[in-house]
Structure formats: C-alpha cells, structure tokens
Chain A
C-alpha cells in the first residue's frame, strides 16, 4: 500500500459542482482510491468481518468519533491483520492503517478524525490470508460555524508528546481488555496558519503509533493529518500475566499538506503503564 497521489483528488473535488460533492456519490473511491490502494485485488463489501460506526452528522468537523468493531476473534489461524481507514472527500483521504496481531484479542479500533465535508468513510479489513472486506458509512458535514482547525493549539503544544493510558480498574487475564491511549499532539494539518508569523504552518502530525504488551505488539498504526488533534485510540489486548503496556509514537513534519514526498522525521515519545491483574 502506498500513499495516494493527491493531485487528481484535488482537481476532482474542485471541479465537480457543489451538488455533486454533497450527494452520496462514490466517484473518488471508484475512480481514484480503489485503484490507488487495492489495485487488482478482490474486495468484498459487507459487515461480516468489521462494522463501522460513525455519527450521522459530523457535529464537530475537527473531531468526529468513529469506531470499528470486529465480528471475529483474533486467533493464530484466523485474524484481522490490518484495517485501513479512508475519508473519500477529505483533501488527504488517507486517515491511517492499523495493524493487529492474535495478541490483540479483538481487532477493534476507535479513533477521532477530521471530516471536511459530506463524505463516505471507509474501513477495509485485511485478513491474515489477505482477503479484503470493506465497511462504509456516509457522514454529513457539520453546518454552522465550526471548522476542522483547532483553536487551542497553544495549549496542546504545551503538553506535546504527553501520553496516558486509561483502562478499567479490573484487568482480566486471558481475555480481551479494552485500553485507551490518549496522546497530546496538535496533529497540525499544514493548512493552519501560525498565530504569530502568519505563515501557513508545516504539517506536524503523529505518523506512527506502536503499542506493545510485554514487548509483544498489540497495535501498530500509521496515521496522518486526518487524525484529530490530541489523538485518541481505543483497542483491545490480552494479558496472560502482569506486565507493562508500552506506547511509542513518532511524529513528522511535511512541506505540503497533500504530499508526503518531503518530510522530516520528528521526535519519538514513549509512555508505559503497569498491568497488575
């Protein structure tokens, strides 16, 4: 899977009449995204493997909670390897891809994303045998006065890279347990302007998230600018005994919002959490 070339998408979104964008069409998926990400691969559209939950309307375009629930258990023989998330009509449709292991227990993932306009959101699950299943939902854009940019960037910057885990008080051995990882990061899109200099800022976003339990990977994610500021992930893991949950994130800064050709690697941040069942 490679990053999509964005230029065609931009041309299409700007050239199509507004009514066409507002309607529930799948032109961008059919004409661009499908071949960019899944060229010549069979892809079944169904809710049999994963289900995608989204709000009907993006109440806050900067922060739309979405949840992917898996319908199958993660076993060594049969498991979801990866889930790719796309927002068709975003300036940069790639939201991220999330890799799971049998140790994840359940390949569920809940995230918060930016949704610029009326659009289909898609989640494509890839099994360990590489079969592909897609779930999709149409989300209406928010009306009113808000915008996908976040007004509290100064506050977020002051705690840049800070992370915390949240779990239920009682952790159960040998069963999937739900964990939440909160990351403080502005996840700047590169379309926002610096308050002081008035120059459009470079993008500055979390590009990789790795969560492990006792050094075994649970969740590995590649993420991009469509993830909301202060990224928030919910996922499962199966502890066999006491141990340590560890999150490691890497951020990056790219020259333009819609190309990933010229980027500078940023910092690595880590956080650990003791699990005592």
Chain B
C-alpha cells in the first residue's frame, strides 16, 4: 500500500512537471518543425500560431523560436526531450513578435544561450510592457517580465553556431518584416529557416519596411535551397517558387500605394482601395491587410525625397 501510494505520488509529480510534447515533424535530417495554424492570435489559441522547431547536431540542439506562450514553450521542450538526448545549447529568436518569443522562459537554464538580431533586445524592451498588457487582454495568457528574455548573443551581421558536425549560419537582415529579422541556414541539409521573412497561405504582415522586405526577397530568391521553413505556412521544397505569392502581394502594395499617393489620395482612402485583388489569395487578409497598407503608406509618403532610393 505504501509503495503504491508513493508510486501514485511520483506519477502525479511527473504529470505536474512534464507537458504534453508539441507535435513536430522531421522535415529533413535533424530538422524538426511544428507547423502552426493560420489563425489570428486570440484568447482561444493563446497565441499558438507560428511555426517553431529545433535543429539537432552531435553536441547541441538549437531551438528556433520558442512559442506563443510559456506552456507552448514547455511543450516544445518536451518534444525535444522525447526526440533526442542531445542538450539544448541555443534558443534562437527569429524576431520580436509574441508568437515566436513567449516560450523563452521554458528554456532558461544553465548552459542555454539566447540568440537574436542585434536590434532584438531593443525591440523587446520597447514593446515589452505593451506586449505584456496585451497578452492578458488578448491572448488570455499570463506573462511577466521574466518571460521576456533578451538575447545573450547578438548577431550584428552574421554568426556561425557549431552544433557539432553541423554549423548553422545566422544572418541579421536589414529592416524587412520587422527591424530585427534573423534567418538560420543549415549547410548540412541546405535548409533555410526564414521564419517570418516568408509567409505562405497566411497573409504577410508588415511591421518593418516594405521596400526593405522586397529587397531581401530579391536577394533570397537568387539562392538555391533544398528546404525552406516559413514562419507561417507549409514546408517549402520548390524554392524560389513559394516566395512568389508574397513577393507579388508586397509589390502590389508598393505599386498601388505609390499610385494612390501620386493621385493625392489619403491614407484612409488607400486602406479601402489598395490591394483588394489579393483578398481571396490569403488567409487572414481581413485581419492584417489594412494594417499593412497603413504601415506601407506612411513609409512611401516620404520616398520622393530620396529619388536615389526609389527603384
């Protein structure tokens, strides 16, 4: 009887600490991805919408984005524990958005280094208190400042991380989707983890710079990758085909907003007219399109003052 109850206690304790593992898929050797659903972050999905995952080397695991809330971070950690005995050495945050960084706290431990773009810490701090308020209000998720973990390692231009028989190349991009986008390239499998520099199916969301993003796309589409992992959308195996929809949408924003400004239209008009031919091509168009037009419009109003910059 005593042994039985002790056993029961152990089981209860184990259940209390271990989360259910997040479903992940090995898309190519040692590259595991959890594919998120195309939903607006809300109090039902608690912000669990983005693609997350990890890459396993001989000596180290690198986590790529930690989740949309602390529980999802724990579930991702459980998935790693169930997949490999290799220790986690790095948690890479691809950018500041909540669906990619709110699981950070689950991984905080001795020997784990957080890695991000050199502007990530500033973005996290600037937005921190606002984000924490919104987490309660909009995601029904309790977060504290302890959940906002700033990077220990900052990537200025590019950085190589050796996971043991596997070297990842991290690149800090100029302002595109956000001002702190980081991509991760795995040479071993020729896999490019673009995160939110690439959206497929889910409408791209602009929180950085429209022309900057298009210029990064122009560079990326010249390269050859076997696998590309978007921040939202399925595994890409036909690069650069799968980035054409995003490129088309962003180019359309650029062209139509420029035309609206030239015609003397105001922001409020542009929000109602620009880009609607794309409405049926994307999930979450109604949720994000007007914000994209707003952000882009405010940037393009000033471009005539820099003719050299206009292309």
Residue ID in chain B nearest A182 by CB atoms: B301
Question: Distance in Å from the Cβ of B142 to the closest Cβ of chain A?
Answer: 11
Q: Is the CB of A149 within 8 A of B126?
A: yes
Are B266 and A149 neighbours in the complex by a CB distance under 8 Å? no
Which residues A46-99 have CB closer than 8 A to chain B? 55, 59-60, 63, 65, 67
Chain A residues lying within 8 Å of B299, measured Cβ to Cβ, are: 152
- Do A152 and B40 have beta carbons less than 8 Å apart? no
Instruction: Judge if A44 is at the interface, Cβ distance under 8 Å.
Output: no
Cα(A24)–Cα(B99), bound, Å = 28
- Is there contact, CB below 8 Å, between A65 and B268? yes
Indicate if the CB atoms of A18 and B130 lie closer than 8 Å: no
Chain B 120-178 interface residues, beta-carbon cutoff 8 Å to A: 121-123, 125-127, 129-131, 133-134, 136-138, 175, 178
Of the candidate stretches A110-118, A202-210, A218-226, A235-243, the one touching chain B is A110-118
- B266 in contact with A147 (CB, 8 Å): no
- How far does the Cβ of A273 sit from chain B's closest Cβ, in whole Å? 15
Q: Which residue of B lies closest to A143 (CB)?
A: B138
Question: Quick check: A63 and B298 within 8 Å, CB to CB?
Answer: yes
Bound complex: CA of A60 vs CA of B98, how far in Å?
16
Residue ID in chain B nearest A169 by CB atoms: B264
Main secondary structure of the interface of B (DSSP, over half): helix
Is A145 interfacial (CB-CB < 8 Å)? yes
Contact (Cβ within 8 A) A151 B266:
no
B178 to chain A: which residues have CB within 8 Å?
151
A152, B137: Cβ atoms closer than 8 Å: no
Which residue in chain B gives the minimum CB-CB distance to A61? B130
Q: Which residues of A contact B239 (CB under 8 A)?
A: none
How far is B288's CA from A15's CA once the two chains are assembled, in angstroms?
A: 31
CA distance A112 to B295 in the complex (A): 12
Task: Name the segment of B53-61, B184-192, B205-213 touching the other chain.
Answer: B205-213
- B305 interfacial contact with A, CB 8 Å: yes
User: What's the nearest-Cβ distance from chain B to residue A44, in Å?
Assistant: 27
In the bound complex, CA of A253 to CA of B264 (Å): 33
- B271 at the binding interface (Cβ < 8 Å): yes
Whether the pair A144, B205 counts as a contact (CB closer than 8 A) is yes
Q: Are A168 and B264 in contact (CB under 8 A)?
A: yes
A80 to B195, CA, bound (A): 52
Does residue B294 face the partner (Cβ distance < 8 Å to A)? yes
CA distance A164 to B122 in the complex (A): 31
Chain B proximity mask over A245-268: 1 for CB below 8 Å, otherwise 0:
000000000000000000000000
Interchain CB contact under 8 A, A144 and B136: no
Complex CA gap A21/B302 in Å reads 36
Contacts of B34 in A (CB 8 A): none
A232 to B298, CA, bound (A): 10
The complex places the Cα of A142 from the Cα of B42 at a distance, in Å, of 11
Q: In the assembly, what is the distance between CA of A230 and CA of B302, in Å? A: 9
B residues 289-311 near A (Cβ < 8 Å) are: 290-291, 294-295, 298-299, 301-302, 305
- Between B126, B267, B288, the greatest number of chain A beta carbons within 10 A of the residue's beta carbon is seen for B126
- Determine the chain B residues whose CB is within 8 A of the CB of A30 once the complex forms: none
Taking A147-B126, A152-B209, A152-B299 as contacts, is the C-beta distance between A59 and B131 under 8 angstroms?
no
| Closest 3 pairs (CB-CB, A-B) | A151-B179, A59-B291, A145-B97
For the complex with contacts A63-B298, A152-B179, 13 further pairs of A-B residues with Cβ separation under 8 Å are A55-B290, A59-B294, A65-B268, A116-B130, A143-B138, A144-B291, A145-B99, A148-B130, A164-B305, A182-B301, A192-B126, A195-B122, A230-B302
Query: Which B residues have a C-beta under 8 Å from some C-beta of A?
Result: 40-42, 97-99, 119, 121-123, 125-127, 129-131, 133-134, 136-138, 175, 178-179, 205, 207-209, 264, 266-268, 271, 287-288, 290-291, 294-295, 298-299, 301-302, 305
12 contacts between A and B (CB under 8 A): A18-B136, A55-B271, A59-B271, A59-B291, A110-B266, A143-B42, A144-B291, A145-B205, A147-B130, A148-B130, A162-B305, A232-B267
